[in-house]
């Protein structure tokens, strides 16, 4: 069990992590392990590990500047992108709109559950899947999807408000 001081310190650390995420502020990290399609990265500033999603090649022990792509306080899962890879919001939204127009599925990280629906991180943008767009096979276990990456269909795009669906076709 954590002491009250440790609880306060953990809350402070996660508040700072979320602030860095919101401001897309870079932080230094060290590559600790090569995974199948990503890297495990250690962030000394916060004494945390997460996943670096990149197509670039790195060596273990190499230092890299990253930004927080998604952060989940409940599961303590963090994903990062290289700092120089961060796209402008308009470019991100245009990619999401293009996927919507072409009826392409997009990858999204499930960061939480709200009112029976799923809160998403889609390329650093907040998204939501309402309960009516969650298939019955997932309806009773939406909490188990938190921290996972899923494929979604984009229904509507507005700045900081993306509506998505887990249903595979229009119905």
Answer yes or no: is pLDDT of 85 > 90: no
59-73: per-residue pLDDT in tens?
999 999 999 999 998
CA–CA separation, 94 and 90 (whole Å):
6
What are the residue boundaries of the structural domains of the chain, listed by start?
4-85, 89-165
Residue 137 host element (H or E): helix 136-139
Residues 131 and 140: beta-carbon distance below 8 Å: no
Helix (H, G, I), strand (E, B) or coil at 143: helix
> Which of 68, 66, 69, 73 is closest to 12 using CA atoms?
73
Write the burial class of residue 169 (CB in 10 Å: 0-12 exposed, 13-18 middle, 19+ buried): exposed
Selection from 97-106, 133-142, 151-160 with the highest mean pLDDT: 97-106
Q: What is the pTM of this model?
A: 0.57
Task: Answer yes or no: same fold for 4-85 and 89-165.
Answer: yes
CA–CA separation, 2 and 66 (whole Å):
29
Helix (H, G, I), strand (E, B) or coil at 86: coil
Q: Could you name the CATH architecture of 4-85?
A: Beta Barrel (2.40)
CA–CA separation, 167 and 118 (whole Å):
13
**Neighbouring residues of 37: CB distance < 8 A, sequence distance ≥ 6:** 53
Query: Which segment of 23-27, 48-52, 150-154 scores lowest on mean pLDDT?
Result: 23-27
105-144: per-residue pLDDT in tens?
999 989 889 988 999 988 878 899 999 999 888 878 888 8
**What percent of the chain has a predicted confidence (pLDDT) above 90?**
57
pLDDT at 86: 61
- Comparing 56 with 27, which gets the higher pLDDT? 27
CATH class of the domain whose range is 89-165: mainly beta
């Amino acid at each position: 069990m954590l002491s009250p001081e440790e609880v306060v310190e953990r809350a402070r650390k996660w508040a700072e992590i979320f602030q860095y995420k919101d401001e897309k502020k870079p932080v230094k990290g060290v590559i600790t392990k090569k995974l199948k399609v990503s890297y495990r990265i250690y962030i000394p500033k916060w004494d945390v590990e997460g996943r670096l999603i990149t197509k670039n090649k790195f060596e273990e022990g190499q230092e890299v500047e990253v930004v927080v792509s998604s952060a989940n306080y409940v599961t303590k899962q963090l994903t990062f992108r290289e700092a120089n890879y961060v796209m402008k919001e308009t470019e991100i939204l245009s990619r999401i709109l293009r996927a919507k127009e072409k009826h392409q599925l997009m990858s999204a990280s499930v960061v939480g559950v709200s009112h029976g629906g799923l809160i998403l991180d889609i390329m650093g943008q907040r998204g939501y899947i309402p309960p009516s767009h969650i298939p019955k096979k997932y309806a009773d276990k939406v909490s188990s999807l938190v921290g996972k990456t899923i494929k979604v269909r984009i229904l509507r795009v507005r700045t900081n408000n993306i509506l998505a669906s887990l249903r595979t076709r229009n119905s």
